Amino acid sequence: MDAMDKGFGAIVQRFSDEKAAREYVERLRWPNGPVCPKCGSADHYRLCPRPDSKKPGRRGLLKCKACRRQYTVTVGTVMEDSKIPLGTWLMAFYLVCASKKAISAHQLHRMLAITYKSAWFMAHRIRYAMTQEPLAGKLGQNNGEVEIDEVYIGGQRCTSAARSAGVARVAAPWARSPSSA
């Protein structure tokens, strides 16, 4: 089972460890090992700061043996050029994708204990990622299949009597996952 299928509690527990979060994202992006985003070469080595270095160094830094460029797993993704920990990104991805109704930047800010500015930035980029492949196809674009669920709004209590008393019924679209097709 994928780590992201185990619920939010398990995600917080596992990805509070930044090293585990980075390894997870690397495995997702590069199932057969790192590939240079510039030239496509798989020949690389990992750069680690010297033990006596006063600078912390860039986390997860790799260097391509073919084109000599440095890169990390976030290059070319919505997480690029962000100082927000990868574990926090994974938690935000989960919350945005698992929320049946939309989740606000304010709610991300409260739940992840990050600044509103960071939450707004992440929400913006994650929503953008959802308009791009492969997520876009899962949300019904490009003839993707979408399921419709019912949501009742209004009334005093969610009972069958309340429903028959004229409570508004609206449709909540959900993308159907390939496994449930």
Residues that bind Zn ion (CB under 5 A): 36, 38-39, 41, 64, 66-67
In the complex, least distance from residue 57 CB atom to Zn ion, rounded to whole angstroms: 20
- Indicate the residue among 36 and 79 with the shorter CB distance to Zn ion: 36
In the complex, least distance from residue 168 CB atom to Zn ion, rounded to whole angstroms: 56
Largest CA distance in the chain: 73
- Indicate the residue among 39 and 151 with the shorter CB distance to Zn ion: 39
DSSP state of 141: -
In the complex, least distance from residue 66 CB atom to Zn ion, rounded to whole angstroms: 5
**Can you say how many angstroms the Cα of residue 56 is from the centroid of all Cα atoms in its chain?**
26
Other C-beta atoms closer than 10 Å to the C-beta of 113 total 8
- Indicate the residue among 64 and 103 with the shorter CB distance to Zn ion: 64
DSSP state of 84: S
- Indicate the residue among 14 and 69 with the shorter CB distance to Zn ion: 69
Return the CA Rg of the chain: 21
